[in-house]
């Protein structure tokens, strides 16, 4: 079991902290002494998660705040609230996401739901919080992607699946490849500007969480046929959330994690086991594509690098 280093005196924001890997990450960060902001879409669920974490760690310092990564106004309001307080932010964990809704759904801003929630929302949040991150001594941004990024492609002609026939799985893969690209391009930007910020990524392998049910069915509780089949017959090795959160925690806190480092389970098929370096697909190593996607994300979200930290 990975042991999170001492986090006393550090402030962390964890998106999607009400369940799954997000809740586990928040629990273990708080247990190591961090003050943790549980950034959640549904406050009531966040409060329930807070109560569960406090039951395990009575001295934990936890705040619950609302953010909907599918709404850019919500992202702005969340970031503005933190910035108004002025506390340096040591760690941003971009964990929240949605997975394979059966039909194309548009966000309030007109984005395809997976691209909007999984990539454009976290992109906007990261850039908006940069002033607080760069006020910290050794800030980190750890972003959760997926092994399906290996099968994703960035289609600049139709990022939002408006022209093509919608594919839930291919759309998800594109959004998670975009997350991996975000990690790498943020590391490039930090290096170019001499920032002390460490940008890392992780994937959970095949970790059983409610992402396969609520994520795939938008809360109906009915997982897709594919995940139902996999769970029923144990087609692939799987693991619980305690183990599945470890690559993300390693990316977020390990002194051995490196800039643009990518971590996942090191066991069978890269789906289970302790955290280890993961292979980065060549599709995330194209510097021209990465820079172009960053620029396109700035255009789509209207969020650019703050002037004070350029």
Positions annotated as catalytic residues are 172
DSSP, collapsed to helix, strand or coil, labels residue 105 as: coil
Degrees, nearest 5: CA angle 242-248-251: 140
3-state secondary structure of 103: coil
Question: What is d(CA 85, CA 131) in angstroms, rounded to the nearest whole number?
Answer: 12
Residues 6+ apart with CB under 8 A from 253: 4, 5, 7, 29, 32, 91, 140
User: How do strand 61-66 and strand 198-202 relate by DSSP bridges?
Assistant: unpaired
Is 293 exposed, middle or buried (CB count within 10 Å of its CB: 0-12, 13-18, 19+)? Answer: buried
Kindly tell me the number of DSSP H helices and DSSP E strands found in the chain: 12, 8
State the burial class of residue 206 (Cβ atoms within 10 Å of its Cβ: 0-12, 13-18, 19+).
buried
SS3 category, 296 = helix
Instruction: Name residue, tokens 């290996």.
Output: 150
């Amino acid at each position: 079991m990975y042991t999170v280093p001492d986090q006393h005196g550090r402030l962390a924001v964890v998106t999607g902290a009400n369940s799954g890997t997000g809740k586990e990450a928040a629990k273990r960060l708080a247990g190591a002494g961090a003050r943790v902001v549980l950034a959640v879409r549904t406050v009531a669920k966040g409060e329930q998660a807070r109560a569960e974490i406090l039951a395990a760690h009575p001295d934990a310092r936890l705040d619950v705040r609302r953010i909907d990564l599918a709404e850019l106004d919500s992202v702005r309001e969340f970031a503005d609230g933190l910035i108004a307080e002025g506390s340096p932010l040591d760690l941003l964990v971009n964990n929240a996401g949605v997975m394979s809704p059966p039909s194309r759904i548009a966000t309030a801003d007109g984005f395809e739901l997976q691209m909007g929630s999984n990539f454009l929302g976290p992109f906007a949040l990261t850039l908006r919080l940069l002033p607080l991150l760069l006020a910290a001594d050794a800030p980190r941004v750890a972003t959760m992607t997926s092994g399906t990024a290996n099968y994703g492609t960035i289609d600049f002609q139709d990022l939002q699946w408006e022209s093509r026939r919608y594919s839930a799985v291919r759309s998800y893969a594109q959004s998670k490849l975009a997350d991996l690209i975000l990690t790498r391009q943020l590391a490039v930007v930090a290096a170019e500007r001499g920032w002390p910020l460490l940008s890392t990524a992780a994937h959970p392998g095949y970790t059983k969480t409610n992402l396969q049910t609520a994520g795939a069915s938008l809360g109906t509780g009915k997982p897709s046929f594919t995940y139902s089949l996999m769970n029923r017959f144990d087609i692939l090795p799987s693991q619980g959330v305690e183990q599945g959160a470890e690559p993300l925690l390693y990316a977020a806190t390990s002194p051995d994690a490196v800039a643009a480092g990518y971590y996942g389970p090191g066991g069978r098929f890269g789906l289970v086991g302790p955290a280890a370096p993961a292979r980065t697909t060549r599709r995330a190593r194209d510097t021209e594509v990465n820079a172009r996607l960053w620029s396109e994300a700035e255009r789509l979200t209207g969020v650019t690098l703050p002037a004070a930290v350029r």
